[in-house]
Amino acid sequence: MLASTTPVTAPVSEQAAATTPPHWVEESQCQSCHNAAFADWQGSHHQLAMQPATEQTVLGDFSVQQFDSDAESSELLHEEDGSYVIRTPDANGQSADFKVAYTFGLEPLQQYLLEMPGGRLQAHGMAWDTQQQAWFHLYQGQAVDHHSQLHWTGALQNANFMCVECHATDFQRNYDAATDSFASRWQAPGVGCQSCHGPASNHLIWAKSQSTSDPVTPGRSTGFSASPSVAPAAEVEVCARCHSRRSPLDDGYQHDNALMDDFLPSILSADLYEVDGKIKEEVFEYGSFKQSKMHAAGVVCSDCHNPHSGELRAPGNGVCTQCHNGNAQPTRSDIQGSGLQAKKYDSPPHHHHPNGSAGAQCINCHMPGKLYMTNDLRHDHSFTSPNPAQALELGHTDACLGCHQPAEPAELVARYLAQYPDAKPRDGGYAQDLAAVRGGKPGAAAALNRQLAREDQPAIRVATLVSELPRYPSLAALQQLASALQHADPSVRVAAANSLPALASETQLADLLAPLASDPVRAVRLAVAWQLAQLSAQTKSGLTTWPTLQAEYEQVQNNLLERADAHFNLAMLYQLSGREDRVEAALRAALERDSAFFPAVIMQAQWQEQYFRLPQVGLAILHKALKAHPGEASLQHALGMALVRQGKLADALPAFTQAHQLAPNNPDYAYVLAIALHDSGEPEQARELLRQQLAADPANRQLRLALVSYLGGQDSQEARMLMEQLREQNPDDPAVAGR
């Protein structure tokens, strides 16, 4: 079982404090000086984010006794000793009893962490709806049983890695790869003072010194601070450690580090965000807020939220009218208020809805919400303005369209324009241009360059745009990437490093990335390390910084060995760095962590075929995996590729077809299937498949050029039309430039 620790807080001399790093303390000591903040924190979602399961903390009704999802049945037991047990199918599908160790969350739902061997805490998919006072399953309708990656026993539900870090104070996973077990610990369950303000031991020494005859002077080289307050400039990153969609780079975080030293936040990718930047999948608040005009003006989280209670600074629209009011004065002097207008926003002349109605609430128009985890409504923090006309054109959601159902969209747009005749998107054309880029519209490359040329573009949007450059290759695009590698924001530098291989030669890649080997931000160095790892040994031998970069990349993976992907990354690195004798063991370790981690399955099969010269063993691995996961498209595709390498194209064709049918939106599967059809004597089927895929994804250059090739080059009218469309998208594309 995981355990908390109580740090020793014995008196420390000032001299010792000068050389001793600050450590975590019992947080009740904060209350004596910070009583108001402590009182706000008591009972907050932060304080109660994780609690030992007791009769006082468990909100779910365990007298229900049985809960049935669409795939499994579980029994709920409240034992005589006051403990709680869930009798539920384990990883083998066998029903067993598991103790509820901790509650997770407070409302609108509460989850339960179950104890497992090896120090694991696993989040069960059954949750309690605190508003409806009923049990529900987070994945109802998805047939989640013990075969599924979403099953509560799997890696995706391991709370040690996925969850507890943001629900406890000073959490350390403490994973032991040798025993595949956790000895995780924390200072306290729940998010406490030091989660945001940092270890407080030296601050306590300073506070105590104020009553002595020789007080410690703030700023003196003592190794500790008189004030642990979070500066506004750092506040958003502090909150983003938990309120963002990100990947960890270590076992926990260091309070003095930049966000991207410890985490890699996601950009505004099409799978996570809508084209106008609003939230789509579960991304929390950071990504949307970073692109907002609020963030650009210097607004921080605590301007709207009490950081200790988590509550809004004012009820209803009051939190917005702190700044958006008739005086046009921001609530804090550090906020740039030049964009504010003196206007009465909280009134029908502005919002055109009756006072007190849903439409009169600022958040419903400017922060539309989405449900996650079935019943958890979270508001978008990009603070967009409704624009139903653009939403209908580009296919993104809109507050007006979402609220006024079942009104006819055309009628709704007409009413909107009548009420707001001067309304136009306030994003500088970002959504329109990004839609053109992703949709392969005429002028797409120009639209991409236009947005990248803006000086007011939020960095997270710049990173997103940079990631689109490989779609439109040209010398100008390569120059854009070279410039982006020098951008002040590390997220842009990471995006540029990841995009560069698609447009640069090996020599160019090495020359452009080498200076970033000493980048001050770890996430950037790791991105550079991975790209350099894939270069030839000869090229890498000329890079004096490569050994250091490789060591850092390898160390980060070794810090995350509870994850299958970390072992997979090591296997890839071993292969690329000439350590072939370590590849197979790393792949086995990946699959021991997660038997359904398909990239490792596929690489293991390929390794047997290509390194050990055992193609039949490789095929057996794929067939075994497909027997357990017949609906996994990547396995079908890998099987087809293995058969092609053995010269069995006819046998491969059904596997390629199945992969495409299982994942019809995957352009790589469609492309390979088209090649297989063409080479199997079915050229018209190949062409028709490419036409269909290209119609759905006009920006896909690979599909377009393949279809042109299968039409006999540019001799046919259809091929000439396809190339003319490519020219309209990107006149500087090497395939059409100069023609």
Looking at residue 32, what is its pLDDT? 86
Query: How many angstroms separate the Cα of 379 from the Cα of each of 125, 237, 369, 556?
Result: 23, 19, 4, 34
Instruction: Please tell me the distance from the alpha carbon of residue 43 to that of residue 51, in angstroms, as a whole number.
Output: 12
Instruction: Please tell me the distance from the alpha carbon of residue 175 to that of residue 91, in angstroms, as a whole number.
Output: 21
Instruction: Please tell me the distance from the alpha carbon of residue 167 to that of residue 110, in angstroms, as a whole number.
Output: 13
Arithmetic mean of pLDDT, 63-92 = 93
274: left (phi over 0), alpha (psi -120 to 50) or beta: beta
Looking at residue 213, what is its pLDDT? 46
Between residues 221 and 344, the one the model is more confident about: 344
* CA 98, chain centre distance (Å): 30
68-73 contacts at long range (C-beta below 8 A, 24 or more positions apart): 69/125, 69/126, 69/137, 69/139, 69/140, 69/144, 70/137, 70/140, 70/141, 70/142, 70/143, 71/143, 71/144, 71/145, 71/148, 72/144, 72/145, 72/146
* CA 497, chain centre distance (Å): 18
Looking at residue 220, what is its pLDDT? 36
> How does pLDDT run across 304-349, given as a tens digit for each residue?
999 999 999 999 999 999 999 999 999 998 999 998 999 999 999 9
| pLDDT > 50? residue 490 | yes
> How does pLDDT run across 31-48, given as a tens digit for each residue?
888 999 999 999 999 999
Which pLDDT band, with edges at 50, 70 and 90, does 484 fall under?
very high
Arithmetic mean of pLDDT, 536-541 = 94
Contact 646, 617 (CB under 8 A): no
> How does pLDDT run across 505-529, given as a tens digit for each residue?
999 999 999 999 999 999 999 999 9
Instruction: Please tell me the distance from the alpha carbon of residue 386 to that of residue 415, in angstroms, as a whole number.
Output: 13
Q: Which residue has the tokens 């901790």?
A: 102
> How does pLDDT run across 385-418, given as a tens digit for each residue?
999 999 999 999 999 999 998 889 999 999 999 9
Arithmetic mean of pLDDT, 676-695 = 97
126-129 vs 109-116, strand pairing mode: antiparallel
Percent of the chain with pLDDT over 90: 86
**Which residues in 679-713 are b (16+ Cβ under 10 Å) and which e?**
eeeeeeebbebbbebbeebbbbbebbbbbbebbee
Looking at residue 208, what is its pLDDT? 82
Contact 34, 209 (CB under 8 A): no
> How does pLDDT run across 80-130, given as a tens digit for each residue?
899 999 999 999 999 999 999 999 999 999 999 999 999 999 999 999 999
* CA 399, chain centre distance (Å): 24
Per the prediction, the chain carries an average pLDDT of 92
Arithmetic mean of pLDDT, 362-372 = 95
Which pLDDT band, with edges at 50, 70 and 90, does 229 fall under?
confident
Which pLDDT band, with edges at 50, 70 and 90, does 201 fall under?
confident
State the number of CA atoms in the 13 A half-sphere of 221 facing the CB.
Answer: 1
Instruction: Please tell me the distance from the alpha carbon of residue 374 to that of residue 139, in angstroms, as a whole number.
Output: 8
Looking at residue 194, what is its pLDDT? 92
Percent of the chain with pLDDT over 70: 95
Looking at residue 124, what is its pLDDT? 97
**Number of Cβ atoms within 10 Å of the Cβ of 146:** 17
Between residues 201 and 244, the one the model is more confident about: 244
Distance linking the first and last C-alpha atoms of the chain: 69
Which pLDDT band, with edges at 50, 70 and 90, does 739 fall under?
low
- Could you give the residue ranges of the DSSP H alpha helices within 291-333? 293-297, 301-304
Arithmetic mean of pLDDT, 592-604 = 96
> How does pLDDT run across 449-463, given as a tens digit for each residue?
999 999 999 999 999
Looking at residue 8, what is its pLDDT? 41
State the number of CA atoms in the 13 A half-sphere of 432 facing the CB.
Answer: 14
> How does pLDDT run across 709-720, given as a tens digit for each residue?
999 876 799 999
Which pLDDT band, with edges at 50, 70 and 90, does 12 fall under?
very low
> How does pLDDT run across 636-665, given as a tens digit for each residue?
999 999 999 999 999 999 999 999 999 999
Which pLDDT band, with edges at 50, 70 and 90, does 222 fall under?
very low
DSSP 470-507: GGS-SHHHHHHHHHHTT-SSHHHHHHHHHHGGGTS-HH
Instruction: Please tell me the distance from the alpha carbon of residue 423 to that of residue 475, in angstroms, as a whole number.
Output: 37
Q: Is 279 helix (H, G, I), strand (E, B) or coil?
A: strand
Q: Which helix (H) or strand (E) holds 445?
A: helix 444-452
| pLDDT > 70? residue 568 | yes
| pLDDT > 90? residue 212 | no
Looking at residue 218, what is its pLDDT? 41
Contact 279, 370 (CB under 8 A): yes
152: left (phi over 0), alpha (psi -120 to 50) or beta: alpha
Instruction: Please tell me the distance from the alpha carbon of residue 64 to that of residue 289, in angstroms, as a whole number.
Output: 41
**Number of Cβ atoms within 10 Å of the Cβ of 172:** 18
Arithmetic mean of pLDDT, 193-198 = 92
Looking at residue 211, what is its pLDDT? 57
Contact 501, 534 (CB under 8 A): yes
Looking at residue 738, what is its pLDDT? 67
Looking at residue 407, what is its pLDDT? 85
Question: Would you tell me the crossing angle of helices 667-679 and 701-710 to the nearest 10 degrees?
Answer: 10
| pLDDT > 60? residue 223 | no
Looking at residue 219, what is its pLDDT? 38
Q: Which residue has the tokens 């950071």?
A: 286
Looking at residue 422, what is its pLDDT? 85
Residues in the chain: 739
Arithmetic mean of pLDDT, 233-241 = 93
Instruction: Please tell me the distance from the alpha carbon of residue 192 to that of residue 187, in angstroms, as a whole number.
Output: 9
Instruction: Please tell me the distance from the alpha carbon of residue 504 to that of residue 473, in angstroms, as a whole number.
Output: 10
Between residues 581 and 218, the one the model is more confident about: 581
Looking at residue 214, what is its pLDDT? 47
Contact 168, 105 (CB under 8 A): no
* CA 447, chain centre distance (Å): 26
| pLDDT > 70? residue 13 | no
Looking at residue 423, what is its pLDDT? 85
Query: How many angstroms separate the Cα of 735 from the Cα of each of 54, 102, 201?
Result: 67, 60, 63
185-186 vs 3-4, strand pairing mode: parallel
Which pLDDT band, with edges at 50, 70 and 90, does 19 fall under?
low
Q: Is 310 helix (H, G, I), strand (E, B) or coil?
A: coil
Instruction: Please tell me the distance from the alpha carbon of residue 490 to that of residue 519, in angstroms, as a whole number.
Output: 9
